[in-house]
Structure 1
Amino acid sequence: MTLILIAYLGGVLTILSPCILPVLPFVFARAGRPFLTSTLPMMAGLALMFAGVATLAAIGGAWAVQANQWGRWIAIVLLAAFGLMMLFPAFGDRVMTPLQSLGARLSERVRPGGSEGLNEVGGSLILGLATGLLWAPCAGPILGLILTGAALNGASASTSLLLLAYALGAATSMALALLVGGRVLKAMKGYLKHERVVRRVLGALVLVGVAAIALGLDRGVLAQVSAASTERIEQGLLGTGGMGHTEPEAEANDFRDYGVAPPIDGVTEWLQGEPTTLEDLRGKVVLIDFWTYSCINCIRTLPHLIEWDRLYREHGLVVIGMHAPEFAFERDPNNVRRAVEDLGIPYPVALDNEFNVWRAYQNRFWPAHYFIDANGHLRHVRFGEGDYERSEAIIRTLLMEAGATNLPPPAGGTEAEGAMAPDSGADRSPETYLGTDRGMNFVTGSGPLQPDHWALDGAWTREGQRAVLTGPSGTVRYQFRGRDVHLVLASTTDRPVRFRITINGQPPGDAAGTDVSPSGDGVIRDQRLYQLVRLPNPGGGELRIEFLDPGAAAYAFTFG
């Protein structure tokens, strides 16, 4: 019940966001009409359509998104016609005459009396459904959490209920705005004397809204302006409901017997190994690593996993990399295969693209290590980086329980360079997503940045998971803290994208990461995590990334 209430309040807060502006003309077009037959059906249609489409988009993949694009254009045409009918009453009368006649005949068959109420309810409901197809709210922390949970955990009644609660919250705030707008319009009619003038003004506003949506302004410019407008309030609501960010290191389980481990069924594809089950591996000690290849925390654990595989494979250890994608491009088997090769991973990797194994283990984190003994029982779980000596000690204990002897000396520390190098442990900026789903600390303008804040310069479009450069060049600025700066990057074209970085206005020199030169030059060739900065000592400064070619897509910053 608490989650539903938080989702509802998150929806109510959308009225404070500029992202609501493109659909307000459609809402105000019903101002002055009865609540039960006009406002209520419209808001119900908006809430139901948004909740349905958002659920499908979150769990249905690309096909649902493509289907929604068709529906979006149908809605644009429908609402454009609605605006034209308001702007030109004669045109509206000509279009509505056959529809009104049909409605009157249907109404007379259903019950005696006029058809005005039936037409009012039906028209308002259709307008609400169309508006629900077009509405693209700026996803703050609350909606981002709901959509992420839907994508990871699959279809469920709770997901749809949370999305519906969010949409109902937004509908409530819009209905209140409509109530206020209706009073304003009533006052305007007193001054203008002619209702047709008001209708034409509203029709023009509807057409402006349609044009803004058709041009993508509702998902681009307005999304950038509004990203942080309600973020602090939403974060406070999440904290109150116990849904805020939790450090995974604090939730590691004890070493004991948790019973039979869940199966690893539903894997999409196996890389570097034959398909297997936990039943096939009875008698072996199994370490399952939930990871994804653009996750810096996952990458920094790989040297230890690789070393444990080398030391203990012959003594009965089986390491399985369970790849559960965070971003859409990580679902591509070819991308994962290339990353596995580049990272030098020698053990089998299973692609859990549908999150079947993730859900079976009720997992919530990247990385997460699950230790399974020779009898198939789960014995230990480790979330996040660190505590490698204890993890290796548990592996050795489980191997000896299984009868292994003459184990080699423990690995101890491991040597690693680049992105695989250990975390500095320094005070650092938080993981920062550039898309609208989980974006935070985004600011507009070219002025100085506060710590942990970032800005876009140039023509960018912010989508759910990423920011995409739509102009010939553009810049991302970030005022960071820490030693290392990583950024997940991709190209939306078939061509490489050049970029250049500076730190406090200067080339990085010795502070250059592994993916840039001392002069700051780099190239996006693959869809992956790029190390941009590696300071000799932890510190910080303003990082400026200038993209010299169109087609850059930036997903998330991480720091070390």
Structure 2
Amino acid sequence: MVYFILSYLAGALTLFAPCILPVVPFVFARVDQPFRTSGLPLLAGMALTFAAVASLGAFVGDWAVQANEYGRTAALVLLAAMGAMLIAPRLALLATRPLVAMGNRLSATASQPGGRERNPATLSFLLGAATGLLWAPCAGPVLGLILTGAALHGPSVHTSLLLLAYALGAVSALAVLLAVGQRTFAALRRTMGIGEGLRKAVGVAVLAGVAAIALGLDTGTLAERSLPGANGLEQRLIDRLRPQPASAPAAMPAGGFLRVQAPAPVPRLDLPVLGAMPPIEGAVGWLNSPALSAQDLRGKVVLVDFWTFGCINCRNALPHVREWHRKYKDQGLVVLGVHTPEFAYEKNTANVQRALVDLDVPFPVALDNNFAIWRAFRNNYWPALYFVDARGQIRFHHVGEGAYEKSEQVIQQLLDEARKEPRPL
């Protein structure tokens, strides 16, 4: 029960994340309709669809990834048609394609406050389902753990219910926002008679939301502006309620890792051997490099970075990883990115390729869609850095953002050891 409450609260916190802004207009498109027959079915459709798509995307094959892409495209077309009809209902007369015609009928219904609907709840549910297909929350620690569990342990009712609890938390917060919006809309229409202008303004906002999602702003620019306090709150709750397993590298004693930095010379770190570097096998593809193996990396200092392009913490850490690649690649450092996706759209190779260009990622990246490398390292988090010496031994491990100076010092020390010590045959 504790995890369900935690998931619900984490979902509610997404209301304060900028990446939710593109879907808010889709919810407010029904602001002039009764909540019971309009707002509630819309939010229910959003929650159920998100939970279903997130459950499928976490543990099924490429066919589901493609289906998700097609579903998102169809949802964008539908909601764009709705926005256009909110602005100019007469445009419905020009619709000829079946999908656009369906969107026109939904949009025309939504844009007629006094109109009669044959089944308003069904129409609102369909709009909510379309919104659920497009909603990509800024995944914090709680959602990351849920999706990781789904990918590692396969489909389960428990995982799907946790995802539903997360979605219900988000739509509950949106319901409060919608209730306030409905009262405000009713008051303005009653006192100022500007209902038509507000309806058109909502239509413009819907089209802006569609454009933002189509351009990837919800998983890119807006995600980067997420409030760090929410993630910190989630992580503190997780640390209190869910101790790390003793077998995970992250749970190993860290007393020897962190030392107070002295002026000069910098003292050498006590870097115990945490185990041998696991085989790098099971990637569905490689970018920026041919496929690499542990044999290819023998004699090199290796930095393994587990990340995914939709993770804001990964994006924040990436400039430091990129700089280490630039500074130390000629001295024997190999930076290896392991892209392990949280959401279905992050499994799409074309999306990852675009992200590598946008984020200026020059080092090799393994596409770990099936969590094979993730499992081999017994990893649990995004981002996670593993520092491997020239003998193929993991010597340091860091989770999350921060400790950049310490991490660079580890790299320098391992490179110095590699120059002085004999390399393995």
* 2:86 is the alignment partner of 1:86: yes
From the CA coordinates, give the structure whose radius of gyration is larger.
1
- Alignment correspondent of 1:339: 293
- Partner SS for 2:225: helix
Q: Judging changes above 3 Å, is the alpha-carbon distance between structure 1 residues 328 and 245 closer, same or farther for their aligned structure 2 residues? A: farther
Amino acid aligned to 1:534: I
**CA distance, structure 2, for counterparts of residue 194 and residue 437 of structure 1:** 40
Cα distance, 1:244–1:441 mapped onto 2, change above 3 Å: farther
What is residue 154 of structure 1 aligned with on the other side? 154
Q: Summarize the alignment of residues 520-535 of structure 1 with structure 2, pairs less than 5 Å apart.
A: 534-535=411-412
CA distance in 1, matches of 2:10, 2:250: 28
Could you say which residue in structure 2 is the equivalent of 1:138?
Answer: 138
CA distance in 1, matches of 2:62, 2:71: 14
Q: Deviations over 1:282-308 (max 9, x none)?
A: xxxxxxxxxxxxxxx9x96338xxxxx
Q: Deviations 1:170-198 (Å, cap 9, x if unpaired)?
A: 11111111112222323332464132211
2:174 maps to: 174
Amino acid of the residue matched to residue 176 of structure 1?
V
RMSD: 4.5
**Structure 1 unaligned spans of 5+:** 104-114, 253-296, 304-320, 345-416, 422-430, 447-460, 476-487, 493-512, 515-530, 539-560
Q: Flag structure 2 segments of 5+ consecutive residues without an equivalent.
A: 96-100, 107-114, 252-270, 320-338, 347-351, 368-388, 391-406, 416-425
SS at match of 1:534: helix
Amino acid at match of 1:435: T
**Equivalent position amino acid for 1:72 in 2:** R
CA distance in structure 2 between the partners assigned to 1:302 and 1:124 by the alignment: 55
Are 1:301 and 2:300 counterparts? no
Matches within 5 A, 1:68-467: 68-92=68-92, 116=116, 118-190=118-190, 192-226=192-226, 228-240=228-240, 242-248=241-247, 301-302=275-276, 329=285, 335=291, 338-342=292-296, 418-419=300-301, 434-435=307-308, 440=313, 464=342
Q: Hey, what does 2:365 align to over in structure 1?
A: 490
Partner Cα distance (1:69, 1:205) in 2: 23
Please give the secondary structure, in 1, of the residue aligned with 2:42: helix
Q: Which residue of 2 aligns with 1:470?
A: 357
> 2:404 maps to what in 1?
none
Give distance in 2, aligned partners of 1:164 and 1:342: 43
Query: 1:3-27 CA deviation, whole Å, 9 max, x = no partner?
Result: 1111111111110100100000101
Query: Corresponding residue for 1:543?
Result: none
Q: 1:250 to 1:68 in 2, by over 3 A?
A: closer
Deviation of 1:93 after TM superposition, in Å, equals 7.8
Contact map agreement 1:31 1:182 (CA 8 A) in 2: yes
**1:339 partner letter:** S
CA contact (8 A) 2:37 2:121 kept: yes
Give the superposition deviation at 1:432.
Answer: 7.2
Which has more helix, going by share of residues?
A: 2
Equivalent AA in structure 1 for residue 293 of structure 2: A
Equivalent pair of 1:32/1:183 in contact (CA under 8 Å): no
* Cα distance, 1:534 vs structure 2: 2.7
- Cα distance between partner residues in 1 of 2:250 and 2:219: 37
Task: State whether residues 49 and 129 of structure 1, in contact with CA within 8 Å, keep that contact through their aligned partners in structure 2.
Answer: yes
CA separation of 1:249 and 1:3: change in aligned 2, threshold 3 A: closer
Change (3 A) 1:230 1:200: same
Q: TM-score normalised to the size of structure 1? A: 0.48
Within 2, Cα distance between the matches of 1:463 and 1:322? 20
- Which TM-score applies when normalising by structure 2? 0.62
Q: Which amino acid aligns with 2:222?
A: L
In structure 2, the CA distance between the partners of 1:440 and 1:181, relative to structure 1 (3 Å rule), is same
CA gap 1:201/1:245 in 2 versus in 1, 3 angstroms: same
| SS at structure 2 position matched to 1:216 | coil
Offset of residue 220 of structure 1: 1.3
Say whether the 8 Å CA contact 2:11–2:168 is kept in structure 1: yes
1:61: which partner in 2?
A: 61
> How far, CA to CA, are the matches of 1:140 and 1:244 in structure 2?
17
Give the strand-richer structure, 1 or 2: 1
Cα deviation for residue 433 of structure 1 reads 5.1
The equivalent of 2:42 in structure 1 is 42
Larger RCO, structures 1/2 (Cα 8 Å, 6+ apart): 2
